[in-house]
Amino acid sequence: MSDVVTAAMIVIGDEILSGRTQDRNIGHLAAVMTAVGIDLKEVRIVADEEDDIVAAVNALRARYTYVFTTGGIGPTHDDITADSIAKAFGVPCDYDAKAYAMLAESYAKRGMEFTEARKRMARLPVGSEHIDNPVSVAPGFRIGNVHCMAGVPAVFQAMLDNVVPTLRTGAKLLSAAVHCPFGEGVIGGPLAEVQKRYPDTIIGSYPKFADGTFWTELVVRARSQDALDAARIEVEAMVNGLAEQR
């Protein structure tokens, strides 16, 4: 299993925790990671509080191959991601010459003042590399295995597109879905038996509820196509067998 690559995500922002803003980045990162063969293992949503961010970053960067953060990299007083990440890594947070020059040039071109607030966006943990921002200039940054990106979905997605080609990707976890018209109470026993016979696969059962009845989406996952196919065929046979009994 040496080619398993793992990741965690930290969503930074009071606005998600208050329910004011609906997160749209978790699902996007999850789908992208799955597509490139990286296992997203944990997500944490934390408040705009330095201690909380530091604790989450240090817990997760030690445990997973990569950590991705969204939010808190803008120019306002509640944007404390750069300072918090610097603290987590024990390095200073300071004006980055390249980011500063890039921002200064961009605002000059547009005839806009390079305010103190805007200058804040050039402050990065010392030792960071930029993550290009094709939407709105201010860069994200990477330090160690931690990648810090914007919270605005359009900007996050553009930054992530720049990050993905730099990542080591693993053996892709293949998956196959089997529609099951029965609730989990019907299939739970036989499904557990199939899982036992195919230890190299992960068989998930996701209950759905609509119009007063339960049905189930069964998902088989495996790192080899052969293992996937063998287990999927048994799951399908199980569902068909149950249908014939009814």
Q: Return the residues of window 149-168 that contact a second copy according to CB under 8 A.
A: 151-152, 154-155
The span from the CA of 15 to the CA of 156, in Å, is 16
- 143 versus 194: smaller Cβ distance to a second copy: 194
- 14 versus 129: smaller Cβ distance to a second copy: 14
Show the site string, 24-63: x = touches a second copy by CB under 8 A, - = not.
--xxxxxxxxx----xxxxxxxxxx---x-----------
Please, is 137 exposed, middle or buried when counting C-beta atoms within 10 Å of its C-beta (0-12, 13-18, 19+)? middle
Task: Confirm if 178 and 237 have CB atoms less than 8 A apart.
Answer: no
- When binding is defined by CB under 8 A, the residue of 117, 233, 237, 243 that contacts a second copy is 117
Shortest Å, Cβ 152 to a second copy: 5
Residue at 14: amino acid letter: D
- 92 versus 153: smaller Cβ distance to a second copy: 153
Residue 8 CB contacts under 8 Å (≥ 6 apart), including other chains: 40, 41, 42, 43, 44, 60, 63, 64, 66, 67, 68
Q: Return the residues of window 84-103 that contact a second copy according to CB under 8 A.
A: none
Of 67, 65, 60, 63, the closest CA to residue 4 belongs to 65
- 52 versus 91: smaller Cβ distance to a second copy: 52
**DSSP string across 100-118:** HHHHHHHHHHTT----HHH
Does 1 bind a second copy (CB under 8 A)? Our answer is no
- When binding is defined by CB under 8 A, the residue of 3, 21, 161, 168 that contacts a second copy is 21
Task: Confirm if 148 and 82 have CB atoms less than 8 A apart.
Answer: yes
Task: Confirm if 37 and 171 have CB atoms less than 8 A apart.
Answer: yes
Q: Return the residues of window 179-208 that contact a second copy according to CB under 8 A.
A: 184-189, 191-192, 195, 202-208
Does 225 bind a second copy (CB under 8 A)? Our answer is no
- When binding is defined by CB under 8 A, the residue of 130, 164, 175, 181 that contacts a second copy is 175
